[in-house]
Copies of this chain bind each other. A is one copy, B any other.
Amino acid sequence: MNNYRYFFRDDYSEGCHPRIVAALLETSFTQQIGYGNDDYSAEAKRLIRAQLPGHDVDIHFVSGGTQANLVIIAAALKPYESIISARTGHINGHEAGAIEAIGHRVETVDTEDGKLNADQLTPFLTQLGHPNSTQPKMVYISNTTELGTVYSKAELTELSAFCRAHGWYLFLDGARLPSALATPDNDLSLANIADLTDVFYIGGTKNGGLFGEAIIISHPELKKGFSYHLKQRGAMLAKGRVLGLQFRELFRDNLIFELAAHANTRALAMVPGIEKLGYHFLVPPCSNQLFPTLPNAVIEGLAKKYVFHTWQQIDAQHAAIRLVTSWATPGAACEQFVTDLTMLSGTA
């Protein structure tokens, strides 16, 4: 019933990559210790660490992004400390108050493209030491951002330097980090991310897994007692093996980056066809999320064949929609979409 139209709704509309199912099948009857102390989790961590030579990181696997966000922030902040985020950041307004529920204020910055820089953070310095103010202590960014934009190495380096100068933690939400690292112009490596942030995670959910995020902690202070935080917030799976097994597969032969590149390629392949029709994008397309601005009538027409979010009303006649491709999106769906858009645009 949900299935009669093609979904460009998000990157978690499908199940998981066949290699993961195969691994589940193969290991079902093997006994393992619970709570993440299984062989598969150990192997997954070895594979991730192999991409971080010389780094001393702690790695933990959790079920989802909101869970990762709230456990990390609970572990990092004292009760009176706050976290700064772009207004579009997932932790601000998209998690039903998850961060406030663990006691912390999210301080927000208005941005054009969902990215933060040092200039935007500077005004928060005035709060430091002020007895009536929350004390900012962590900066939250996402890469790719909620608008599909990415950080360059220069940008992340500058942001990192600013945070370190002020004793602030830099936390990168990487639910779509594989997509960011697989964009054509990317100049960041996973090791750079580990260098420049204090904690980040790599999303499995949106990159071919059933569910799961791999949290990677560099800062010694954030490593302390992390398992207790996980347990206390209900984030520790009895069969932690299921998470370990997925990340083992995703990191074997760099499958996760291959899948992310697939998703990016599919999205970017639609761009010329859309631009050719004279349409513009809310932000320049570079990853697996596109935000074309279209006439209302065209959007209505598309909605008969495709499922997607209307992101933002632009004016009375136009809105930006969000199109998301995934590791499983076939080329034919994208081609058909452009064809349909072209037809609708001719008649609209």
Question: Per a CB cutoff under 8 Å, which of B3, B71, B95, B232 touches A231?
Answer: B95
CB contact under 8 A between A100 and B104, given known A24-B210, A80-B225, A234-B67: yes
A3 to B34, CA, bound (A): 13
Contact partners of A16 in chain B: CB under 8 A: 24, 28
Contact partners of A1 in chain B: CB under 8 A: 39
Contact mask for chain A residues 215-238; partner B; CB cutoff 8 A; 1 contact, 0 none = 000000000010111011111111
Contact partners of A236 in chain B: CB under 8 A: 64, 66, 131
Contact (Cβ within 8 A) A15 B80: no
- Of the candidate stretches A4-12, A258-266, A278-286, the one touching chain B is A4-12
A64 to B67, CA, bound (A): 13
Contact (Cβ within 8 A) A28 B15: yes
Contact (Cβ within 8 A) B134 A96: yes
Number of copies of this protein chain within its complex: 4
Contact (Cβ within 8 A) A96 B231: yes
Decide if A299 is an interface residue (CB 8 Å cutoff). no
Within 8 A of B (CB), among A41-99: 63-71, 74, 78-80, 82, 93-98
A27 to B20, CA, bound (A): 13
Decide if A317 is an interface residue (CB 8 Å cutoff). no
Contact partners of A210 in chain B: CB under 8 A: 24, 239, 242
Contact mask for chain A residues 105-130; partner B; CB cutoff 8 A; 1 contact, 0 none = 11000000000000000000000000
Contact (Cβ within 8 A) B229 A80: yes
Contact (Cβ within 8 A) B82 A2: no
Contact (Cβ within 8 A) B98 A232: yes
Decide if A21 is an interface residue (CB 8 Å cutoff). yes
Contact partners of A31 in chain B: CB under 8 A: 2-3, 6-7, 13-14
| Residue ID in chain B nearest A6 by CB atoms | B31
Decide if A348 is an interface residue (CB 8 Å cutoff). no
Contact (Cβ within 8 A) B238 A235: no
Contact (Cβ within 8 A) B32 A13: yes
Contact (Cβ within 8 A) B24 A232: no
Residue with the greatest number of chain B CB neighbours at <10 A, chosen from A18, A101, A242: A101
Contact (Cβ within 8 A) A133 B12: no
| Cβ distance A209 to chain B, nearest Cβ, rounded Å | 9
Using a CB–CB distance below 8 Å, which chain A residues touch chain B?
Answer: 1-3, 6-7, 9-10, 12-18, 21, 24-25, 27-35, 37-39, 63-71, 74, 78-80, 82, 93-98, 100-106, 131-135, 205-206, 210-211, 225, 227-229, 231-239, 241-242, 328
Task: List the 4 closest pairs (A to B, CB-CB), nearest first.
Answer: A67-B234, A80-B228, A15-B28, A96-B231
24 pairs from A and B in contact (CB 8 Å cutoff): A3-B30, A7-B31, A9-B33, A10-B34, A16-B24, A21-B21, A35-B131, A63-B63, A63-B234, A64-B234, A66-B231, A66-B234, A67-B235, A82-B97, A98-B231, A98-B232, A98-B233, A98-B234, A100-B104, A101-B233, A131-B228, A211-B237, A211-B238, A233-B233
Q: A2-B38, A35-B131 are in contact. List 12 more A-B contacts (CB 8 A).
A: A2-B33, A2-B37, A15-B241, A18-B28, A79-B97, A79-B102, A80-B96, A93-B132, A96-B228, A97-B103, A97-B104, A206-B238
